[in-house]
Structure 1
Amino acid sequence: MKDKILTTISTIMLFIPWTILQLRTFDWALKSPVAEIMISAYAAFMIFSGIFTIISYVREKVQNNLMKICLVVNSLYAAGGIAVLGMMIFQKMM
């Protein structure tokens, strides 16, 4: 039962970052303070989902085929989130 719950959560976390595309169609989402906050929040969520999936796979031993796909994709999301936050922090420092 635990395996199915963790796999379901990781699978749902695959699709949430794509909702930013819908939000960015609004004019208010393109203005500076809102855009920065929204991108930071999505990046933080992507990092969290990557860490959650890695912990579920390694520590909780949820190692089915769907979880392997979630592990790869959410790890890439986490790396992208770290890169985006790093670029934002680097830009603020300059």
Structure 2
Amino acid sequence: MKNKILTTISTIMLFIPWTILPLRINFQWALDYAHIMIPCYAVFMIFSGVFTILSYTKAKAQNNLMKVCLIVNSLYAVFGVAALGMIIVPKIM
């Protein structure tokens, strides 16, 4: 039962980063607050990757859907780190 819950959570986390596209296309306020939204989405993507990796390794939720979630959420985490890096590094230098 625990494995199914972890798999469900990881699967839902696959689709949440894509919600930024309709928000930014359809709503002007999303463009105005992009400086807040993008880092929040990046942090969520990093959290999703870490959560899925820990669920797969520590909780032993190892099924085929979880393997797909592991790959995709790990890529999301890498891109989230890259996005935060592109936001933070210019402010430091």
TM-score, normalised relative to structure 2 = 0.96
Aligned mates of 2:85, 2:22 — CA distance in 1: 24
Task: Give the aligned CA root-mean-square deviation in angstroms.
Answer: 0.7
Q: CA deviation at 1:12?
A: 0.2
Unaligned ranges ≥5, structure 2: none
Unaligned ranges ≥5, structure 1: none
Q: Does 1:81 align with 2:75?
A: no
In the other structure, the counterpart of 1:29 is 30
Aligned mates of 2:87, 2:49 — CA distance in 1: 20
Q: CA deviation at 1:27?
A: 1.5
Figure out how many residues of one structure are paired with residues of the other and give that number.
Answer: 92
SS at match of 2:3: helix
Aligned mates of 1:9, 1:28 — CA distance in 2: 29
Q: CA deviation at 1:28?
A: 1.8
Query: Once the two structures are aligned, what percentage of the paired residues are identical?
Result: 72
In the other structure, the counterpart of 1:9 is 9
TM-score, normalised relative to structure 1 = 0.95
Aligned mates of 1:49, 1:69 — CA distance in 2: 13
Q: CA deviation at 1:35?
A: 0.6
